[in-house]
Amino acid sequence: MAWNFRDNLPIYSQLVDHLKRSVVSGEYTPGGKLPSVRELAADAGINPNTVQRAFGELEREGLIYTQRTSGKFVTEDTNKIESAKQELASSEIRHFLFSMQSLGFARDMVLTMLENTQEGEEAHANS
Amino acid sequence: MLGKLMKHEFRATARLMLPLYLVIVALAAFTRVTNWVLEKNDNGILSLINGLFIFLFIVSLFASVIFAVVMMIYRFYKNLMTDQGYLMFTLPANIHELLWSKLFVSVIWFIGTVLVDILAGFIVTYESGMAANLFNGFRDLFSQLSTYYALNGTAFVLEAILAFLVTMLVGCLCFYAPISIGHSFANHKTLLSVVFFFVIQFVLRILNIFGFASLAQSFPETGPSAVPTQIVTLVHSAAWGYIAYELILGGILYFITWLMLRRHLNLQ
Amino acid sequence: MPILECRNLTKNYGTVCALDGINLSIEPGRIVGLLGPNGSGKTTLIKLANGLLQPTSGEILIGGEAPSPKTHAIVSYLPERIALIDWMNVKQQLDFFQDFYPDFQREAAEQMLSHLSIPTAQTVKQMSKGTREKMQLILVMSRKAGLYLLDEPIGGVDPATRDYILHTIISNYNPEAAVIISTHLIADVENILDDVIFLNRGKIALQSSVDEIREKQGKSVDALFREVFKCWEN
């Protein structure tokens, strides 16, 4: 069954995002081999050219590299991966804050809600 | 490609023709057997059965010819003018190959049907020594003709065979052409095919009359007083004239068919 | 060189203009969606590419040549209708394709037949409509062609088969071949398309890559199509 993609963004950029998360979360291990273009395309139910483009983008950012006859691999440079992780995290936070703001919450209110949620989860875990 | 198309054409049509041939031969055999049984013991019921088989046998001879003709028409229509056309016209073969594969195979089945009918006839009527008698009879006829009338027997046979083949080819095209014209229209394809069939037949009849008239005109001397050599020349000229005439007609009908299929194909 | 090219291609049926001065160029390695409402000229364009119709004016070229038996050998065509020979069983159909098309890959076809659980002893006449559609698709996709012309490949089949068909198109992907998919079901195929061509009343209304549409218009091709071809007035 094909993956779900959102309608209003190019698929390749959504794929870039998805792949970055897989790298950052360790699903694709540093130095590990990535699925081939065709495999990934078939799996995700998308055009192989799209996968190619996404790979190209990631390679430009230095997260993956191509080894001539063996395929594509995740970088072993943990710094690169760490900074990608940070980038994704800041992006998430920005989106979250923007969302909350559009709901009408002020910044300090948001912080308070976060703390309360944290305490609530800890309490639940202890009981 | 032509070979492959013919192979495919045979496969498609043999599944209908071969069982028919089997039925004809079987009926012939049954007729023969009941004839023989009847000879031994005359009996009311046996007489009836025998009569029935004879009847069925004769019907099957006529039916076989009609069947071969109908199949030739239906095959062209089904394979090229219905949805199957989407497959056939996109093969790596040109229209000439598609047409000739059908023409060749249809003629071969016509010849086959005639041969099977003759064979069936022999099965029913054969008596010992018949083959030898027939063979001698033909040989005598040939030598008499050539001695007394200077008629070249082999040439005549050749002309007859050619005339027969050409007639069958044109016969097929008399159906292929109107079907291909009728189906080039968007609506009323079948109706128009039938209409064009009769239109073409009408035109052919008129041309035949002219052809015949001009043939008669070019041999004014033939009459009751004609010398045998003149008759022989007449026969040969008529044969070749006929063959040439049919070839021209066939050429025109073939061109029309090819043109319709190449430029005015209208598969729905 | 483009695998399919149209130069001012026009096709009239009597007084009706089905295609009006179409200019088009499709390179190998692209999967292209040919989209448009009924009567927009999609099927006419495909038939012209196959040589089933002749242009009224202009040209259509397959690998630089006009449609002919030679181009038929590199084009694999899936018609909208069922174009199978009804008395044949599965083996005979495979034999037929193998005989006429050197690029036919029998093992690939047999594998797909088993994936889709198609009983090999059945004749086409005995098959259900859905099975016939699958059969036809398997035969077409098993050829290693330069251009695949698929006219409504997923219209008549169930969603699981639809997925399988799209999956097959992706896995058969060959950078030297192009695939043209003519369809109404845009949302289903959008993810596998590189480019789309919108046809409307015989003219090209839009020609773009899917990425460009999403980036510039911020919506999917399916959404854009609905906008462009809205059936009712506000």
Model pLDDT, residue B153: 67
Chain C interface, best mutation among A1, A5, A7, A13, by max C CB count within 10 A = A7
Query: A49–C192: do the CB atoms touch at under 8 Å?
Result: no
Q: Are residues C35 and C66 in the same domain?
A: yes
Here the CATH number for the domain that contains residue C21 is 3.40.50.300
**CB contacts < 8 A (A, C):** 61
pLDDT category, B86, cuts 50, 70, 90? very high
**How far apart are the two ends of chain B, measured CA to CA in Å?**
26
What is the Cα–Cα distance from A100 to A92, expressed in whole angstroms?
12
- Residues of chain A with pLDDT > 70, as a percent, come to 99
Rounded CA gap, B24 and B60, in Å?
A: 6
C127: which 2 tokens? 């098959």
The reply to whether A31 touches chain C by the CB within 8 Å rule is: no
> How crowded is residue A115: how many other Cβ atoms within 10 Å of its Cβ?
10
Query: Is the CB of C214 less than 8 angstroms away from the CB of A42?
Result: no
Model confidence pLDDT, tens digit, residues B13-68? 999 999 999 999 998 888 888 888 877 777 777 788 888 888 888 898 899 999 99
What residues pair up with B119 in beta bridges, in sequence order?
Answer: none
How far A104 CA lies from chain C's nearest CA (Å)?
Answer: 26
Nearest-by-Cβ selection for C100 from B15, B92, B262: B92
Residue bearing the bigger pLDDT, A47 or B132: A47
Please name the amino acid found at residue B134: L
How many domains, chain C? 2
Please name the chains neighbouring A, where neighbouring means 3+ C-beta pairs under 8 angstroms: C
State whether C136 and C54 are in the same domain: no
Closest chain C residue to B13, measured at CA: C87
B226 pLDDT more than 70 = no
Residue B132 lies in a domain: no
Chain C residues whose beta carbon lies within 8 Å of the beta carbon of residue B74: none
Q: Kindly state whether residue C181 falls inside one of the protein's structural domains.
A: yes
The answer on C86 and C125 residing in a single domain is yes
Contacts of A2 in chain C (CB under 8 A): 163, 166, 191
- Provide the pLDDT for residue B64: 93
Q: Are residues C219 and C152 in the same domain?
A: yes
Are there at least 3 beta-carbon pairs closer than 8 Å between B and A? Answer: no
B235 in the same domain as B158: yes
Residue B170 pLDDT greater than 90, yes or no: yes
Q: Do A11 and C31 touch (CB under 8 A)?
A: no
CA angle B84, B85, B86 (to 5 degrees): 90
- Of C56, C2, C64, the C-alpha closest to C32 is C2
Q: How many folded domains does chain B comprise?
A: 2
pLDDT band at B192 (very low <50, low <70, confident <90, very high): very high
**Distances from the Cα of B22 to the Cαs of B19, B61, B70, B260, in angstroms?**
5, 12, 18, 37
Report if residue C4 sits inside a domain.
Answer: yes
Q: Are B and C close enough to touch, i.e. 3+ CB pairs under 8 angstroms?
A: yes
- Per-residue DSSP letters for B116-129? HHHHHHHHHH--TT
Q: Which domain holds residue B192?
A: 150-268
The answer to whether residues C151 and C64 belong to one domain is yes
Give the residue among B120, B127, B106 at the shortest CA–CA distance from B62: B120
Q: Do C134 and C105 lie in a common domain?
A: yes
C181 in the same domain as C131: no
Residue C138 and residue C101 share a domain: yes
Q: What is the mean pLDDT of residues B65-78?
A: 95
Structure tokens at B176: 């292929």
Q: What angle do CA C124, C125, C128 make, to 5 degrees?
A: 80
| Per-residue model confidence (pLDDT) at position C204 | 92
Do A and C touch (≥3 CB pairs < 8 Å)? Answer: yes
For residues C120 and C155, membership in a common domain is answered with no
* Cβ-based contacts of C219 with chain A (< 8 Å): 7-8
Note whether C154 and C207 are same-domain residues: yes
| B53 in Cβ contact with B27 (< 8 Å) | yes
pLDDT at B222 over 80: no
Ranges of chain C whose pLDDT falls below 70:
232-234
The domain spans of chain A are: 11-76, 79-126
On the question of pLDDT at B103 being above 60, the answer is yes
Q: Residues of B with CB below 8 A from C51's CB?
A: 89-90
Query: Measuring CA to CA, which residue among C155, C165, C159, C89 is closest to residue C124?
Result: C89
pLDDT at res. A79:
87
| Cβ contacts from B onto C, under 8 A | 58
Name the token pair of A63.
């997260």
Would you place residue B121 in the very low, low, confident or very high pLDDT band (cuts 50, 70, 90)?
A: confident
A55-69, A97-111, B117-131, C31-45: range with lowest mean pLDDT? B117-131
B9 within a domain of the structure (yes/no): yes
Query: In this structure, what DSSP letter does residue A35 have?
Result: P
Q: What's the average model confidence in pLDDT over A111-121? A: 89
Q: For C57, which DSSP code?
A: E
User: Contact at 8 Å (CB) between C6 and C26?
Assistant: no
Residues B213 and B268 in one domain: yes
Q: Collect all residues of chain C within an 8 Å Cβ-Cβ radius of residue B94.
A: 68-69
Q: Is the pLDDT of residue B141 over 70?
A: yes
Which residue in the block uniquely carries the two structure tokens 């015949």?
B212
Whether B135 maps to a domain, the answer reads no
**Does one domain contain both B191 and B268?**
yes
The verdict on a CB contact (< 8 Å) between C52 and B84 is: no
Rounded to whole angstroms, the Cα distance separating A60 from C150 reads 36
For chain C, the chains sharing at least 3 beta-carbon pairs closer than 8 angstroms are A, B
Contact assignment for C100 to B263 by CB distance below 8 Å = no
Are the beta carbons of A1 and C163 separated by less than 8 Å? yes
Instruction: Give yes or no for a contact between B175 and B197, defined as CB atoms under 8 angstroms apart.
Output: yes
**In this structure, what token pair is assigned to residue B194?**
């039938």
Domain covering A11-76: architecture = Orthogonal Bundle (1.10)
* Size of chain B, expressed as the number of residues it contains: 268
| Last-in-domain residue among B79, B110, B126 | B126
Are C225 and C153 members of one domain? Answer: yes
* Domain residue limits at C7: 1-74+145-160+174-234
pLDDT score, position A29:
86
Count of C-beta atoms within a 10 Å radius of residue C110: 16
Q: Which residues of C are less than 8 Å from A41 in CB distance?
A: 170-171, 173
Q: Which of C48, C56, C68, C99 to mutate to test the interface with B (most CBs of B within 10 A)?
A: C99
Residue C166 lies in a domain: no
C13 and C118 fall within a common domain: no
Q: How far is A52 from chain C (nearest CA, A)?
A: 12
- In a domain, residue C202? The reply is yes
Confidence of residue B218 (pLDDT cuts 50, 70, 90): low
Asked whether residue B158 falls in the same domain as residue B108, the answer is no
Residue C116 inside a domain? The answer is yes
